[in-house]
Structures are given as C-alpha cells and as structure tokens.
C-alpha cells in the first residue's frame, strides 16, 4: 500500500516544484516589481537564530519597566506600569487637544490592517476592541513620553512617574518585542490639532541617539516615509549615507597589498593589538554612519578609520534589538548592523584592545570596566558568520599585514613604528630638497 502512495506523493511534489520554476522563469518583470515593493516585517519575538545567546543577552530583549503591545501584555511583572501608561495617555490627550473617542475610533477603523502587523498566535485571545484599546493607550503613552523627554516637560511630581518615563524612552521603546505599528503613532499624531510638535519629538529623539554628542547640532534628516515600527525608523536613520569616505591606496600601498597576496604562511589579523603591531593605526572618522569604515593603505602606516563607538547600556540595548530585527526571517535587508558589529567585535578581543581604542579616541566607554566591554563584544562576535559589506576592508588589512616589508620591519623592530615614520619623513624631505634644487638649476638636468 505504501508503495502505491509514494509515487503519487512524489508526483505532487514535482508538480509544485515545476509550477514554482515556471513562475520564476516566466514572470521576471512581475518578480522585480515584488522586490521593489515595500514589505514590512511583522512585530514579533526575538527570532530563534539568536536563542543560543539569549541567556547572555536576555536583559537587552525583555522590557525593564513597561510592556507595549500584545507580546508581553498581561504579564504581572509589568502591571505597575499600566497606571503609568494611563497617566501618560491622559497627558497626551490634554496637551494635544485630542478627544479620546476620536483617537480610539480612528484606530478601530484600521484595526484589520493593524492586526496584520502581528502573527496570529501573538494576538490570539484579544478581540478587536481590546487590541485597539491597547494600541490606543500604548501609542499615546509612547508619544507623550518621547515628547516630555525631548522637550524637557516637567511632569507633576505628585504623579511619581518620571522614573518610569526615563526607562521607557531609554530602553523599552526600542525593544523588538515591544514595538507598536508605526501606523498607530501616525494615526494618533494626525488626530491632534497640530501633529508637527509630536513628529518633531520623534525625529529629535532618533537624531539624539544616532548622533555622537559632538554632532547633535548638525542637520536633521526629515521623516522620509513608511516604517513597520519605531525601531525600523531608527535603523533607517542610522544607515543614511552622508559624507562617507571611501578606502584609498597609494602606489606603495598597492605594492604592499600585492606582496601580501603572494605571501606564504600568512598570519590572520585578530584584534587592534595585531593591527598596532603591523603598523596600522585606528582613528575615528568624521561621520556617525556605521557604514563609514575605510582602510587607507600607505606608508609609514596604514590607517583604519571607523565611526566613534559609544558603548553604554542604552546603546547596547538598541544595537542588540537592531540585530534581532535584521535576523527576522520576514525582514529583507543587507544585515548592515550585524556586519558592523561583527567587524568591530573582531577588533576587540581583550580589555587591552578596549583600552587602545579608548586612547585613540575611537571608543567611549560608559558601560563599565574594559573587561565588561570586551565580554560584550565576545558574545557579539558569534552573531554574524562573516563581515558582510566590510569583508574587503578586513581582507585588505590582512594583505597589508602579510606584505614582506611590513613583516620584516615588525619582526626586527617590533611595534616601534615611530622610527619608520621618522625615516619616511627624512626620505621625503631629502627628495623634496633634491627636486627643488634641480628645479632651480635646470642646466644640471642636461
């Protein structure tokens, strides 16, 4: 009996496979249109690909004070914050001039579309009214919390909610599992008498977090569109390309890379300490974009330029949730944040590497000890199997370190690259003097 059923099973599977192949073969134009169409990832739990590290990273994925949306709804751990959200909602309605019935009814009208932002099993058991009310209250609370922090609104002291608001804006609104559909925030802002101040508060918050302290007065980038949630909007802003410096290579640098290509018994570059021993200096660049990493191959020293790295509890929380977002199976993306974390974590192997980056002005440590920073990046190192967009930079650094000149010099002179810089400067000065002399005495050229 089983022998008769098996061919039919195989025939059915083959029909499915051939149908898929024909669709790919016959509809390239339609497929291109699908690729360019904006498809939002659903709001979901941290994906299984991160579960092996969840025990070490759980504090970055779980709400600290306030549960937003349905994924942690009803957890008694966060019950105290329910009253805080009602207070913030009341303050939002009072300041914005929005009628509570109007804001709720607008969300209720779009509840079918908003339900599609979640997987069915995550909202199972919530009827439309309960889900719409939850989104209404949570959305109002988020908008007013952001507004109060950015505009430095003094909350009534008798309400005793300042601590909850600080934790909400610093940590809980950035969690993947705590996201609200961005459409909810748009509906609520559009329901106010003047949406602009509320939109500006969101924009200014993202600008404040993505910019290093020295650049927070620079130009702002306007909201450019449609997002799944606040975390995705943050990621979009983080990856805006502005003033990125490309890698460069002098003529001598190209010769060094070529000799590194053909070298035998190649060594690998594993940390900032390795780079320093091979004469590569790490310096901060002038932009805040994590894509702005460049390697400049030259003598007397190669230069690796990276964005300023601010390590703090807040930044670690946001970054880990961006990694979780990029790991979601329904989010089509280039894994820019994961690749960046993999690249930086490859440079930080020990507390000594952290210290070296701090001395160079590349890293600011607000997390704790240098050992704690090194431990955090040790965990991050396994999140991404390769360097993604930064693979060519790491490959060029290894070629540079394996060139015969760099290896001979590092073997005989150790890390004393200041002597080489002095020698190159003297040679450059002599050549400049010779060129000047022959320019002033053209008859000697004959």
**268-277, pLDDT tens digit by residue?**
667 898 888 8
Residues 311 and 256 in one domain: yes
SS3 per residue for the chain: CHHHHHHHHHHHHHHHHHHHHHHHHHCHHHHHHHHHCCCCCCECCCCHHHHHHHHHHHHHHCCCCCCCCCCCCCCHHHCHHHHHHHHHHHHHHHHHCCCHHHHHHHHHHCHHHHHCCECHHHHCCCCHHHHHHHHHHHHHHHHHHHHHHHCCCCCCHHHCCHHHHHHHHHCHHHCHHHCCCHHHHHHHHHCCCCCHHHHHHHHHHHHHHHCCHHHCCCCCCCCCCCCCCHHHHHHHHHCCCCCCCCCEECHHHHHHHHHHHCCCCCCCCCCHHHHHHCCEEEEECCCCCCCCCEEEECCCCEEEEECCEEECHHHHHHHHHHHHHHCCCCCCCCCHHHHHHHHHHHHCCCHHHHHHHHHCCCEEECCCCHHHHHHHHHHHCCCCCCCHHHHHHHHHHHHHHCCHHHHHHHHHHCCCHHHHHHHHHHHHHHHHHHHHHHHHCHHHHC
Residues 116 and 260 in one domain: no
Q: Which two tokens stand for residue 135?
A: 């989104």
Residues 193 and 121 in one domain: yes
Q: What is the pLDDT of residues 13-30, one digit of tens each?
A: 777 777 777 766 665 544
| Position 113 in a domain | yes
Residues 221 and 259 in one domain: no
Q: How far apart are CA 14 and CA 340, in angstroms?
A: 41
Residues 300 and 195 in one domain: no
Start-to-end CA span in the chain (Å): 100
Residue 252 reports pLDDT greater than 50 = yes
The structure tokens 């904006």 sit at: 38
Q: What percentage of the chain has pLDDT greater than the value 70?
A: 74
Q: How far apart are CA 89 and CA 147, in angstroms?
A: 12
Query: Which of the two residues, 160 and 68, has the higher pLDDT score?
Result: 68
Beta-carbon neighbour count of residue 160 at 10 Å?
Answer: 11
| Position 33 in a domain | no
Residue 267 reports pLDDT greater than 70 = no
Mean pLDDT of 214-243: 72
Compute the half-sphere exposure of residue 223: CA atoms within 13 Å on the CB side of its CA: 19
- Local confidence band at 285 (pLDDT 50, 70, 90 cut-offs): confident
pLDDT of residue 104: 92
- Local confidence band at 217 (pLDDT 50, 70, 90 cut-offs): very low
**Judging by beta carbons within 10 Å of its beta carbon (0-12, 13-18, 19+), is residue 350 exposed, middle or buried?**
middle
Residue 34 reports pLDDT greater than 60 = no
Residues 59 and 175 in one domain: yes
Q: How far apart are CA 331 and CA 234, in angstroms?
A: 15
| Position 227 in a domain | yes
Among 188, 218, 238, give the residue marking a domain's end.
238
Q: How far apart are CA 344 and CA 373, in angstroms?
A: 12
| Position 253 in a domain | yes
- Local confidence band at 425 (pLDDT 50, 70, 90 cut-offs): low
Query: Which of the two residues, 327 and 408, has the higher pLDDT score?
Result: 327
**The domain containing residue 75 runs over which residues?**
48-238
* pTM given for the model: 0.81
| Position 4 in a domain | no
Residues 172 and 257 in one domain: no
Residues 264 and 117 in one domain: no
Strand-pair partners of 284? 306
Residues 73 and 214 in one domain: yes
| Position 439 in a domain | no
pLDDT of residue 38: 57
pLDDT of residue 12: 75
| Position 205 in a domain | yes
- Local confidence band at 401 (pLDDT 50, 70, 90 cut-offs): confident
Mean pLDDT of 145-160: 91
How many domains does the structure of the chain reveal? 2
**C-alpha angle with apex 226: 147 to 178, nearest 5 degrees?**
55
pLDDT of residue 54: 66
Residue 143 reports pLDDT greater than 90 = yes
| Position 1 in a domain | no
Residue 178 reports pLDDT greater than 70 = yes
Strands 294-297 and 302-306: antiparallel
- Local confidence band at 257 (pLDDT 50, 70, 90 cut-offs): low
Mean pLDDT of 387-396: 80
Which range scores top for mean pLDDT: 155-164, 249-258, 325-334, 396-405?
Answer: 325-334
Residues 87 and 222 in one domain: yes
Residues 169 and 187 in one domain: yes
Residues 283 and 395 in one domain: yes
**Lowest-confidence pick of 27-31, 293-297, 311-315, 326-330:** 27-31
pLDDT of residue 93: 93
Residue 287 reports pLDDT greater than 60 = yes
Q: What is the pLDDT of residues 321-368, one digit of tens each?
A: 999 999 999 999 988 999 899 899 989 999 999 999 999 999 999 999
């Amino acid at each position: 009996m089983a022998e008769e059923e098996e061919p039919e099973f195989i025939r059915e599977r083959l029909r499915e496979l051939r149908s898929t192949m024909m669709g790919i073969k016959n509809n390239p134009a339609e497929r291109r249109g699908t690729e360019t169409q904006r498809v939002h990832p659903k709001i979901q739990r941290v994906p299984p690909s991160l579960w092996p590290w969840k025990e070490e990273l759980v504090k970055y994925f779980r709400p600290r004070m306030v549960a937003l949306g349905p994924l942690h709804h009803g957890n008694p751990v966060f019950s105290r914050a329910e009253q805080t959200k009602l207070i913030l909602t009341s303050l939002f309605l009072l300041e914005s001039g929005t009628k509570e019935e109007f804001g709720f009814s607008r969300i209720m009208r779009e509840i079918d579309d908003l339900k599609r932002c979640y997987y069915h099993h995550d909202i199972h058991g919530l009827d439309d009214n309960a889900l719409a009310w939850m989104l209404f209250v949570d959305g109002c609370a988020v908008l007013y919390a952001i507004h109060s922090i950015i505009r430095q609104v003094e909350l009534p002291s008798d309400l005793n909610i300042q601590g909850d608001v600080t934790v909400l804006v610093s940590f809980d609104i950035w969690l993947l599992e705590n996201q609200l559909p961005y459409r909810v925030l748009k509906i609520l802002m559009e329901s106010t008498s003047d949406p602009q101040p509320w939109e500006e508060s969101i924009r200014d918050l993202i600008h404040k977090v993505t910019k290093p302290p020295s650049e927070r007065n620079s130009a702002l980038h306007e909201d450019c569109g449609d997002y799944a949630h606040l975390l995705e909007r943050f990621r979009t802003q983080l990856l805006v390309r502005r003033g990125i410096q490309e890698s460069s290579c002098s003529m001598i640098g190209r010769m060094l890379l070529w000799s590194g290509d053909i070298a035998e018994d190649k060594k690998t570059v594993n940390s900032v300490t390795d780079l320093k021993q091979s004469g590569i200096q790490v310096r901060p660049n002038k932009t805040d974009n994590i894509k702005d990493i460049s390697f400049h191959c030259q003598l007397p020293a190669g230069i690796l330029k990276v964005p300023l790295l601010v390590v703090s509890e807040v930044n670690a929380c946001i970054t880990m949730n961006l990694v979780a977002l990029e790991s979601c199976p329904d989010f089509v993306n280039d894994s820019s944040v994961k690749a960046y974390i993999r690249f930086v974590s490859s440079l930080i192997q020990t507390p000594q590497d952290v210290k070296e980056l701090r001395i160079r002005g590349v890293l600011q440590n607000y997390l704790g000890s240098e050992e704690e920073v090194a431990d955090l990046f040790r965990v991050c190192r396994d999140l991404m199997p390769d360097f993604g967009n930064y693979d060519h930079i790491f490959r060029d650094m290894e070629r540079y370190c394996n060139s015969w000149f760099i290896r001979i010099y590092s073997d005989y002179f150790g890390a004393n690259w200041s002597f080489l810089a002095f020698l190159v400067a003297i040679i450059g000065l002599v050549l400049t003097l010779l060129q000047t002399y022959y320019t002033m005495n053209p008859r000697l050229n004959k």
